[in-house]
A and B are shown apart, each in its own frame.
Chain A
């Protein structure tokens, strides 16, 4: 979760670290968060499409490993920013860069320590109607528009105005 818990609007993204569309959406989501600042809370949930993206699951588990050491968002940003080199060597290099234990990450991936968390995100997404990656939800409603800045901000503004009008 990025942003205040009591923000007026919560934006949830179900994403896959190896999905090129998620990679494209990443800087846009950053801009959207800056645009709405304290009014927006952003949540990222894992939705790895493992059959077509073999690196997505280890990347998601690595982000959770970093999260267990309070470095989730740093790892999340680094993975997307280096998406074209995604693979185990990159994940270990990122762990090192973030001062996390590389052997700790290796063990966590081998023992699948964070797989249940990633699976829980995935299944929650399936039950909520995730229909590909990335899928965004704004205050619980699936956003069927594009992930372009204008589309996302317009949709979020509608929720902000609705809230203000109440």
Chain B
């Protein structure tokens, strides 16, 4: 398994195609925490599919003010078809060209397979990685870790006016 970027690291910025004619960068989300969900491929079996699951949990992420971005090496047209088929209400980013470059910057690229790891990052408002987790490739990690991290992030903010002092950064 790859060594992914740890909490306390600055999240590398990126600009990726989100539809065949739109781009999205991490800095576009200024002021909002982001959940980056790297995953191996669109079109994995339906009911156990990670993106389908996150789509259902989206209201919980948004309650915490966080934006969810799915990232894989699939192309924008592939993402578009997948989003439509699964009725996804969040953007899927195409780490397509140069292939896997953004995943590589996050330590979340599987060189031997040519796909992203199942790696999760919660990025805070100041573009610091607050929490990260890499799941075994065949195991959908669920959303409990993301939600627990978002809880801690919002508690930090309440108690410290935005200056993170969480144990997350201490390690």
Contact = CB atoms under 8 A, between A and B. Distances in A.
A51 B82 CA distance: 13
A21 B47 CA distance: 7
A126 B47 contact: no
B86 A144 contact: no
B81 interface: no
B47 A20 contact: yes
Contacts of B86: 51-52
A51 B87 contact: yes
Nearest to A22: B47
Contact of A49 (B56, B142, B143, B147): B56
Interface in B28-57: 46-50, 52-53, 55-57
B111 interface: no
Interface string B135-171: 0000111111101000000000000000000000000
A131 interface: yes
Contacts of B139: 131, 144
Interface residues of A, number: 21
Contacts of A130: 53, 142
A121 to B, nearest CB: 13
B50 A131 contact: yes
B142 A52 contact: no
B13 interface: no
A129 B143 CA distance: 6
Contacts of A132: 47-50, 52-53, 140
Contact of A123 (B48, B60, B88, B140): B60
A19 interface: yes
A50 interface: yes
A126 B46 contact: no
6 contacts: A51-B86, A51-B87, A126-B147, A130-B142, A131-B143, A144-B139
Interface of A: 16, 19-22, 49-52, 122-123, 126-134, 144
Sorted nearest first, the 4 A-B pairs with minimum C-beta distance are A132-B48, A131-B142, A131-B140, A129-B144
